[in-house]
Chains A and B, each alone.
Chain A
Amino acid sequence: MKALWRSLTVVALLGLAAALLVAVLGLPPAPVKLAGEVATNLGASGVSHPVTAVLLNFRGYDTFLEVAVLIIALLGMLAAGLPPPPPTGSRNAMLPTLARLAVPLMVLAAVYLLWAGAFRPGGAFQAAAVLAAAAVLLHLAEILAPWPRDRRGPRLAIAGGFLLFLAIAAALLANGGLLRYPPEHAGLLIVLIESGLTVSLAVNLAAFFLLRADKT
């Protein structure tokens, strides 16, 4: 019986894969050449790297909602109940030394990634991930204590970057559209938003590890 179900599942999945393949191969060519559009309008975006131009300018709204999704994920974790703090004192002695050496370089790399986002691969998400990884490393090395549930600083940092993005988006509504930057200020606004997002996302990602239930 189990073997029958298994073979039926395999057949169904192969059918699905074949249908997807047919659908993808049968797609009509895209009506707009998006890469060309981006290249044409890159000068007005305030940055010279096309990926950043799309993420923060042309499709800024998507990035905005992405940040909101991460915050909602954290809210979900808070609602579901935090895991207890891990047992202490069982770690390798090498780890704190390594962490103390690596973390300053990671912070440097994060700032570079944030700055590089304007003209080459990089940006807020990558910078935030590196910062969060640094925080996790410090946490694993028991240099950084877990955050209690009610700690105010992480919450302010997470909300702050998002609210900065929201405030800029709302202020630009007067300009005729959500997140429609005036071209002469676009570069500055994008750097501002990305800096806020880096802090917010880094604390958000780190909070998935560092938020722990209070010791009872």
Chain B
Amino acid sequence: MSTAFDLLLAAALLWSAWRTLATPQIGRAVILFIVFGLLLTLAWARLDAPDIALAEAAIGAGLTGALLLDAVAALRARRPDDEEGQS
């Protein structure tokens, strides 16, 4: 059961990492990055590293994700005529 979960988690990590890099819309890429961070938190927890899991959840997914969202909003404000993700 746990092996199946681990395999699923690894597959989801690889998939979300790939989608984060490959998606053409930056807003969606940021959301996928946060999803990736939360999945990575689960992976650290599964590896019995709760310290790193906590740091990843708080800094990796939380603060970095919010910073990136902020940056996307600033980019959109700078170029309001630009379609999302075309830059």
Residue pair B62, A129 in contact (C-beta under 8 Å)? yes
Residue pair B55, A87 in contact (C-beta under 8 Å)? no
Least CB distance, B60 to chain A, in whole angstroms: 9
Choose one: B58, B62, B73; the contact of A86 (CB below 8 Å). B73
Instruction: List B24-81 residues whose CB lies under 8 Å from chain A.
Output: 50-51, 53-55, 58-59, 62-63, 66-67, 70, 73-74, 77
Residue pair B51, A51 in contact (C-beta under 8 Å)? yes
In whole angstroms, how far apart are the Cα atoms of A130 and B67 in the complex? Answer: 14
Which residues of chain B come closer than 8 Å to A205, judged between CB atoms? 59, 63
In whole angstroms, how far apart are the Cα atoms of A211 and B68 in the complex? Answer: 16
Residue pair B66, A133 in contact (C-beta under 8 Å)? yes
Is A123's beta carbon under 8 Å from chain B? Answer: yes
Which residues of chain B come closer than 8 Å to A51, judged between CB atoms? 51
Residue among B51, B66, B70 with the highest chain A CB neighbour number at 10 A = B51
Instruction: List A165-216 residues whose CB lies under 8 Å from chain B.
Output: 205, 208-209
Is A113's beta carbon under 8 Å from chain B? Answer: yes
Majority secondary structure of chain A interface residues (helix, strand, loop or mixed): helix
Residue pair B63, A133 in contact (C-beta under 8 Å)? yes
Interchain Cβ contacts within 8 Å, total number: 41
Chain A 107-138 interface 0/1 with B at a Cβ cutoff of 8 Å (1 = within): 00000010000000111011001101100100
Is A15's beta carbon under 8 Å from chain B? Answer: no
Residue pair B51, A209 in contact (C-beta under 8 Å)? no
Q: Nearest B residue to A125 by beta-carbon distance?
A: B55
Which residues of chain A come closer than 8 Å to B53, judged between CB atoms? 121
Choose one: A113, A123, A126, A209; the contact of B67 (CB below 8 Å). A209
Residue pair A132, B73 in contact (C-beta under 8 Å)? no
Residue pair A208, B67 in contact (C-beta under 8 Å)? yes
Q: Nearest B residue to A127 by beta-carbon distance?
A: B58
Is A83's beta carbon under 8 Å from chain B? Answer: yes
Residue pair B66, A121 in contact (C-beta under 8 Å)? no
A residues adjacent to B (C-beta < 8 A)? 51, 83, 86-87, 113, 121-123, 125-126, 129-130, 132-133, 136, 205, 208-209
A-B contact pairs, 8 of them (CB 8 A): A86-B73, A121-B51, A121-B54, A122-B54, A123-B51, A126-B51, A129-B62, A205-B59
